[in-house]
Structure 1
Amino acid sequence: MGKTNGKLLLGVFALIILVLGGTALAKGGFYLGKHEGDTLHLLQMVFRMAEGDWPHLDFVTPIGVLAVAPIAWLVSLGLGVGHAILWSQVIVALVALPAIWWVARSRFTGIWAYAFGAVVLILILALVHGETTRATSISMHYNRWAWAAAFLAIATAILPARVENRVADGAVIGAAMAVLFLTKATYILAFFPPVLVALIGRHAWRTIASGVITGLVVMVALTVAAGTPVVWLAYLRDLMIVAASETRPQPGHPFNVVVGAPAYMAGSIALLLSVIWLRQAGRKLEGLVLLILVPGFFYVTFQNFGNDPQWLPLLGLILVMLLPAAGLRNGMGWDMRQVMTTTAVAAFAFGLPSLINLTYSPFRHLTEKPEEYTALIPGSGIHEDIRTFGLRAHRLDAKVALGGPDTVYAKYYDPEFREGEVIDWKGETLPVCVTEVGMVAWFQTMADTLNETVDTEGKTAFVADILNGYWLFGAFEPLEGNAPWYYGGLTGLAQADYVVVPVCPQSLLVRNTILEELKEEGPEMTEVARNAQFILYALER
């Protein structure tokens, strides 16, 4: 690709950032359509980091520091969190732009260079995690950012260079791998082995050296910023907590469903066939690397909420760039160029609904009606620029068990039907009830009632629920060593002043799991208050 095309490529990518990022920002705030709980989880991390806390050192999370740092930095500069979220995506896109440009220019030709860069930028700048549901959401933004980094590393490693610069290749791969590790470690576990195999297979020793140096520079910089190398041990500890979690080992379908269910099977078959086609087309190394990528693609999809196979567009682009010359046939007489083209078209078709949803999410966001939205965190001043749909915020619905041994449905009751839902706690059976919608009203009312019940100023609470977010709504302070989103264990309990047991929690499974652990290894607790919303216990410190 010549210099003029390189400039045009850069110009088109800059225009994509301007259009998608500018459209998102033009709304004047961030308007959520779903995933309020996930957003409150993110905001806990953002606000704590903006005040100087570090993930893994000050609170438990399997999410890496780079997933939150851009947003937290902007908040620390005085930006409202809604604007900070939107601007962070633009900043990430601009930082990634040189790498996107280089990979598109050096690995792709013609329209495909523009297509590759556009897909990566869409992943960074979208306002939904994927799938086909239209409602906007910032939930799992780090999955999109990690896919973007993975696309850069995989394309650089698996595709032959059309413009040679192994130092630049290594810098892109090393930076991308560091980003994966510091954003969501699942991705580096899945994609480091095939990338390394591809580089070794090409004898790209200079690329490997450049990648190692780049990765080490990033790691050293982060260690210096954290002020201690202990941050790495803390990160590994957090990852082990999640790996051992019984409440959320994965957030979606079982692995066999992600691979073989009707919604996924066609894409899985296309991926497996692509390995065969590459080998039969004489692309032995590329076929081997794609074979190693197969379990990685499946595993990351399995680990991500929604189980969205975001790798499908990348698969199509790889096949297009590795098309053999016309006339090459396999042992069955099939024209391999035609076969691979057909498979690439299928991969694009299977991935297109999700990609379209990602692409026009900023435009949907722009058309939302502000009068239908309310502040996600009422009374937070500048941070009221993050809004959520009023009905979802204030309409309180819950799922409650009607059947039981003491009901008119007693003859149909079977304890096995309620396994894990019924719990005896301190001599009483707690209600089988879980809150399903109305999270803002629920949290604000809980926080207000806690403030009326005890003096929460300067105090902390361990919450027997999936989210410990009362402090966002004015009750208690952030709990040192706790997890904003519950993954397992009693992390932070030793530093807490109180334990809050919701009567109708956000997650029945998590509440009951925590209470079972408290039965076994919890400290002595004294009940100090109870009402229809919660039971409150004081801890001896």
Structure 2
Amino acid sequence: MGILVLLGGAALLKGGLYIGKHEGDTLHLMQIVFRMADGQLPHLDFMTPIGALAFWPIALLVEAGLGVGMAILWSQVIVAAVFLPIVVWVASSRLSPNTALLFGAVVMVLLLALVHGEAQRSVSISMHYNRLAWAAAFVAILAALIPPVHPRSGLVDGVIIGLMMVIMVMIKVTYFAAFALPVVVALLLTEQRRALGWAVLTGAFAALVITAFVGFDFWLAYLGDLATVAGSEIRAAPGDPLTAIMGAPAYIGGSLLAVAGVILLRQARVDTGGLVLLLLLPGFIYVTYQNFGNDPQWLILLAVLLLALRPGADKVMRNGFGWPLREALAVTAAMALALSAPSFFNLAYSPLRHFKLDTADYTPLLPRGGVHSDLHSTKLRVERVFARVALDGPGTMLERTRPPEDDTALPRFRGETFDHCSVELGLPSVMDAIVRDLEEAGLAAGKSLFAADIFSSHWLFGDLEPMQGGAPWYYGGLPGWADADYLLIPLCPVVPDVQARILSQIEEQGAEDLVEIRRTPLYILYSKG
């Protein structure tokens, strides 16, 4: 409760959301929220692999009239308040008081933080859904692996576990796929069979209720979006390779600690704990691999589980090296806490950093956002436009240093090759300038455009309309192309490789009917004839 009041209050009292990075991700979030607030459904009306529940609380508040910045902050506080009695129920019935407080603090911090993790201090709402999914996974795993001290019917525990699994499905299926089997095995081995039954019934009932509201096609469309992303060469895994997440210098310490925890639990004859932890480890690694930043936030849960599963103080058990196993597990937990400390403390005091920042350095992300002007980013990142450009093109005196394969990877369209340029800072200003120019030319009102780039967020900045079936973040294919009125080719995109892929696919489908209707230093616009 103290953390909820402190961190939630610090966030809300600022009066708006002030981010320090990830403007493109934030525009992606705003697109989805605004479309849902307008009555559209993810997967059916637009493409995204992220589940509806990740955005639904924010969209409800936006629909009720809040600015998107305050809606994001209030949604986190409301979700944390909903989680609070659940966390108290699960932790107090299974853990010692100190371990229960640690677990409760971890879950509340995950829900109320204003950064996705890692150790970079800038405030960011990007990937907020990962934090929520981790919180649900932590509750489900703890409730399944650590049985209550006093046996009971299993009804409440089963409902809680079932709801947590539904939350994972409806936020990011990766978490459900990674942890469903270990949770089921843990419930069986700890003889919480009634809880397992209630969990299955809860999940089935939730699925029926959701289907009643959105229809069966929703699930098919959801699976289709997931399949598209899984097969995407662009965003299938936004970080280090899977082998690196297991054994690279930044991660091998955590992996070895988890293995050590399994061995020590087995030596302490905590066979169920050791087996389930072994089953959890591949899921921990895979989810970390799937999440941007590859932040192993499971390490702090590992510490809680090892502390909770230790033999009692009255049981003096030693392994073959003579180590007292209760103390050995405590040391392993302490090491896991130490490894997780940079990320956890970054999460924990991000709302306090947000409260103390100087708003004079910030400007609205949407310059004509009206009530939604309560979401700000730093002036440097919004108003200054920096780009990465190639200096070894023709006529630069550096032509001989340019590898020949670079030219073959450049974006091309209808016989025209675009030199390498990518926006580094100032993406909102670039999009705003393009939309204002389209409006002045009388080309924007009621029209939708397909941008040959990773983002098609231009409609947030003016009179344009979103594409039916479009993708707020590009993962592959041509989502929304059939509904678009225009093709927009930014001459300095965010990701040139994505632009090259999109233009190639459009030409493969046939670009003969496209008519160039406007060319400026920032973009080329084609009408679909």
Tell me which amino acid in the other structure corresponds to 1:125: L
Q: Partner of 2:195 in structure 1?
A: 207
Conservation of the 8 A alpha-carbon contact between 1:33 and 1:388: yes
% same residue: 49
Conservation of the 8 A alpha-carbon contact between 1:503 and 1:535: yes
Higher mean C-alpha displacement, 322-331 vs 380-389:
322-331
Instruction: Return the offset for 1:511.
Output: 0.8
CA distance in 2, matches of 1:476, 1:288: 55
Q: Does 1:476 align with 2:460?
A: no
Q: Partner of 2:435 in structure 1?
A: 447
Instruction: Return the offset for 1:249.
Output: 1.2
Q: Partner of 2:94 in structure 1?
A: 107
CA distance in 2, matches of 1:311, 1:329: 27
Q: Does 1:224 align with 2:220?
A: no
Give 3-state SS (helix, strand or coil) of 1:161's partner.
coil
Q: Which runs of 5+ in 2 are unaligned?
A: none
What aligned pairs does 1:91-240 form with structure 2 within 5 A after superposition?
91-165=78-152, 166-226=154-214, 228-240=215-227
Partner residue of 1:521 out of 489, 509, 518: 509
Q: Partner of 1:69 in structure 2?
A: 56
Higher mean C-alpha displacement, 457-466 vs 55-64:
457-466
Q: Partner of 1:5 in structure 2?
A: none
Conservation of the 8 A alpha-carbon contact between 1:450 and 1:475: no
CA distance in 2, matches of 1:76, 1:419: 47
Q: Partner of 1:377 in structure 2?
A: 366
Higher mean C-alpha displacement, 122-131 vs 285-294:
285-294
CA distance in 2, matches of 1:510, 1:423: 9
Q: Partner of 1:53 in structure 2?
A: 40
Conservation of the 8 A alpha-carbon contact between 1:433 and 1:508: yes
CA distance in 1, matches of 2:402, 2:357: 46
Q: Partner of 2:475 in structure 1?
A: 487
Instruction: Return the offset for 1:486.
Output: 0.4
Instruction: Return the offset for 1:331.
Output: 2.7
Give 3-state SS (helix, strand or coil) of 1:334's partner.
coil
CA distance in 1, matches of 2:408, 2:274: 47
CA distance in 2, matches of 1:101, 1:452: 57
Q: Partner of 2:325 in structure 1?
A: 336
CA offsets per residue over residues 316-338 of structure 1, 9 Å max, x none? 01001111244211233322112
Tell me which amino acid in the other structure corresponds to 1:90: V
Partner residue of 1:438 out of 426, 432, 441: 426
Give 3-state SS (helix, strand or coil) of 2:251's partner.
helix
Q: Partner of 1:24 in structure 2?
A: 11
CA offsets per residue over residues 360-405 of structure 1, 9 Å max, x none? 0010001111111100111111110111111111111000011145
CA distance in 2, matches of 1:372, 1:424: 39
CA distance in 1, matches of 2:57, 2:411: 42
CA offsets per residue over residues 158-209 of structure 1, 9 Å max, x none? 1132133311111111000000000011100111111111112234221111
Tell me which amino acid in the other structure corresponds to 2:216: P
Partner residue of 1:536 out of 496, 517, 525: 525
Give 3-state SS (helix, strand or coil) of 1:441's partner.
helix
Partner residue of 2:234 out of 244, 247, 250: 247
Closer, same or farther in 2 for the Cα pair 1:121/1:412, shift >3 Å? Answer: same
Give 3-state SS (helix, strand or coil) of 2:450's partner.
strand
Conservation of the 8 A alpha-carbon contact between 2:422 and 2:493: yes
Instruction: Return the offset for 1:99.
Output: 1.4
CA offsets per residue over residues 117-137 of structure 1, 9 Å max, x none? 110010000001011111111
Partner residue of 1:365 out of 327, 334, 354: 354
Q: Does 1:290 align with 2:277?
A: yes
Give 3-state SS (helix, strand or coil) of 2:487's partner.
strand
Q: Partner of 1:501 in structure 2?
A: 489
Instruction: Return the offset for 1:414.
Output: 1.4
CA distance in 1, matches of 2:67, 2:4: 21
CA offsets per residue over residues 452-496 of structure 1, 9 Å max, x none? 334221111111111111110004101100101101110110111
CA distance in 2, matches of 1:217, 1:139: 31
CA offsets per residue over residues 298-323 of structure 1, 9 Å max, x none? 00001111110000111001001111
Stretches of 4+ moved more than 6 A in 1? none
Q: Does 1:427 align with 2:403?
A: no
RMSD: 1.3
Q: Partner of 1:7 in structure 2?
A: none
Q: Partner of 2:338 in structure 1?
A: 349
Tell me which amino acid in the other structure corresponds to 2:192: A
Conservation of the 8 A alpha-carbon contact between 1:447 and 1:474: yes
Tell me which amino acid in the other structure corresponds to 2:237: Q
CA distance in 1, matches of 2:396, 2:100: 65
> What is the TM-score when the length of structure 1 is the normalising length?
0.95
Conservation of the 8 A alpha-carbon contact between 2:158 and 2:196: yes
CA distance in 2, matches of 1:101, 1:415: 62
Give 3-state SS (helix, strand or coil) of 1:123's partner.
helix
Q: Which runs of 5+ in 1 are unaligned?
A: 1-13
Conservation of the 8 A alpha-carbon contact between 1:106 and 1:164: no
CA distance in 2, matches of 1:424, 1:376: 31
Give 3-state SS (helix, strand or coil) of 1:529's partner.
strand
Partner residue of 2:299 out of 299, 312, 316: 312
CA distance in 2, matches of 1:138, 1:222: 27
CA offsets per residue over residues 274-294 of structure 1, 9 Å max, x none? 111111111112111111111
Instruction: Return the offset for 1:418.
Output: 5.8
CA distance in 1, matches of 2:15, 2:411: 46
CA distance in 2, matches of 1:339, 1:418: 58
Give 3-state SS (helix, strand or coil) of 1:263's partner.
coil
Give 3-state SS (helix, strand or coil) of 2:274's partner.
helix
Instruction: Return the offset for 1:417.
Output: 4.8
Instruction: Return the offset for 1:449.
Output: 1.5
CA offsets per residue over residues 193-241 of structure 1, 9 Å max, x none? 1111111223422111110121122222222332x11101010001011
- How many aligned residue pairs are there? 525
Q: Partner of 1:6 in structure 2?
A: none
Give 3-state SS (helix, strand or coil) of 1:262's partner.
coil
Tell me which amino acid in the other structure corresponds to 1:376: L
CA offsets per residue over residues 340-370 of structure 1, 9 Å max, x none? 1111000000001111011100100011111
